[in-house]
Every structure is written in structure tokens, then in C-alpha cells.
Amino acid sequence: MLLAPPPSLHPTKEQFQAALKEIEKFSPAPVILARALKLLRDPRSDIESIATLVGSDAALTTDIIRSANCVYYAGGKCTSIGEAVQKIGFQETVRQLNLAVARIASGRDLGCYGIHGTDFWSESLFNGLFLQQLAMETGECDPDEAYTVGLLRFIGRLAINQAIEQLRGGLYWIGPESISQWELDNVGLVQAEAGAMLLRAWQFPEEIVEAIARQDAPALQEKKNWLAEALFFATALLPQGIGTPFNPVMGSSLAHLPVGMDFMHHYGLNAATAELLLEKTSVEFERIRTTFGV
């Protein structure tokens, strides 16, 4: 059994916050997405408001215009963000923002975890799509919000990786201890907590922040949060790409009910339904990866 490093090696709150600030410098996209989600909830918002928001960042503008001109949206020659948003619509623009943020957050290697950027991205996308399918099936949550939460469920790994590299470096998870124990030993908190800190700094809605924070123990939350429950359930079904390439191909059947049996019973799901949702997720995953080259 590996011994935990002395508590004095843990970064202070101030040091960890400094590492989060470095992540914020990667791109303004996460903050823009957080604002877009608030616009999506506001009935007074319109096409012009989301176009103005996205248009505040040149890289995101280029990304959305390129997406709007792809074959999936029947091609075209949009040259401005206003034209692009008008063509694909408010909600689809937010979905594309989600993808852009996930690419920025997940499109880098997490060396301390031994996770390649491509695998981090694939795992994030698959979780987002699966939560979206769950939300549509149960009707318990807005599918677009569920998609965002799934995409960002492991964003805390980015924060922890950044903190380790910035503060001391040279630490790698190789087992046999659990990944959460390794995180606790080296930075004093698990990725769910780190992710919540990061999303709160980016001013995401509190319900999303809490879902990320409570994803490993939804039963401990004071206020019911379906998104946290759904993340916990997804953990029982989806492979985790830690130390090995993420493989989104699901088995042909569920031999037994997963750990999230209570979740399934409560929301009227069964093994056959879960299989179908996984199949739909796999199809959509391949469509997005092929269409948008991610």
C-alpha cells in the first residue's frame, strides 16, 4: 500500500485557486458558455443576444461559423456570427458552444493521470450525450443542460492536473490505489470538488455546480439534484478512460442491473431501456465525431 504524502505537500487554497486562474487563461469560452446557459433560461433572450455574446470571442466565432456551414446543417456560406446563429438557431448554437468548451477543456493531455487528450475528449463527449439521452427518456431535466453537465463531469481532472504541474510536477497516478485516493493524497481533494470550484469560478448555474460536486455521492446532498443522480448512475454503466484508451463501444447486453438500480427503478428504467440509451449514445457519438472532426 502506498503511503500518502505529508499533508504539508498539499497545495494551500490560495495555491489551488492560482492554478484555477491559469486554466481560465486558456480561453474565455467556458465563461461565455456559462452566460449562454443563463440566456437560454431567460425568455427575454433572442438570437441577437446569443450572437453578440459568442461574437465577443474571435476563436468561438470562427468555430460556430464553420459548424453552421458544415454538411450537417445543409452546408452554406455564412460569413458572420449573426448569419450562423440565425441559421442553426439559439439552442443549437449553445450545443456548439458546449462542444467548443469541451474541446478546449479536454483537448489536452492529462499527463499526471496518464490520459491522452483524445481519450479525455471522447469520454467527456460520451458522458454528455448519455446524460442527454437520460434526460429525454425520463423527462426530469432539460436535455441541453444534462448534455453540458455530462461534458463537464471530469473537468476537475484538468484542474488537478494543472495544479500538480504548476506547483511541483512529477506526480503520476499509476495505481494500485484508487484514482480518488491518489487525488486526495496529492492535492487534498477529489476531481468532483475541483471541478465544482472551477465551474463556480466560471459562474456556471449553481445547480450545475452542485451536480458536478455531488456526482460521486448524490445521496449526501441536502437538496435533490437529478443531474448528480444521473452522473452517479452513468458511472455504473460507462467505461472510464483512466490510463487506457477510452472505448465507447458498449457490450451487447447488460448481464445484470448496475449499481444505480435504485435510480432505474425510481425513474422507470430497466436493463433493456438502458441498453437502448447506450446504443443511441454510441450512434450520436460517432455522428458528431465524424461530422465535426472531433
Q: How many domains does the chain have?
A: 1
Does 9 score more than 60 pLDDT?
Answer: no
Rounded to 5°, angle at Cα 77 from 75 and 82: 110
Other Cβ atoms less than 10 A from the Cβ of 203: the count is 14
Contacts of 1 (CB under 8 A, 6+ apart): 177
Q: What is the pLDDT of residue 105?
A: 66
pLDDT tens, 146-162? Answer: 999 999 999 999 888 88
Does 252 score more than 50 pLDDT?
Answer: no
Q: What is the pLDDT of residue 258?
A: 55
CATH number of the CATH domain containing 194: 1.10.3210.10
Better pLDDT: 169 or 255:
169
Q: Does some domain include residue 82?
A: no
Q: Quick one: average pLDDT of 202-226?
A: 89
Q: Does some domain include residue 31?
A: no
Q: Would you state the torsion angle of the CA atoms of residues 92, 26, 193, 35, taken in this order, to the nearest 10 degrees?
A: -40
Does 5 score more than 50 pLDDT?
Answer: no
At 185, the amino acid letter reads: D
Give the predicted TM-score (pTM) of the model.
0.85
Domain that holds residue 239: 10-26+109-291
Q: Does some domain include residue 147?
A: yes
CA distances from 228 to 15, 79, 157, 185 (A): 28, 40, 17, 24
Calpha distance 187→219 (Å, rounded): 25
Contact 97, 54 (CB under 8 A): yes
pLDDT tens, 98-139? Answer: 887 777 766 678 888 988 888 888 888 899 999 999 999 999
Residue 100, SS3 per DSSP: helix
Better pLDDT: 162 or 248:
162
Q: Does some domain include residue 85?
A: no
Q: Does some domain include residue 124?
A: yes
Q: Is the peptide bond before 205 cis (omega within 30 degrees of 0)?
A: no
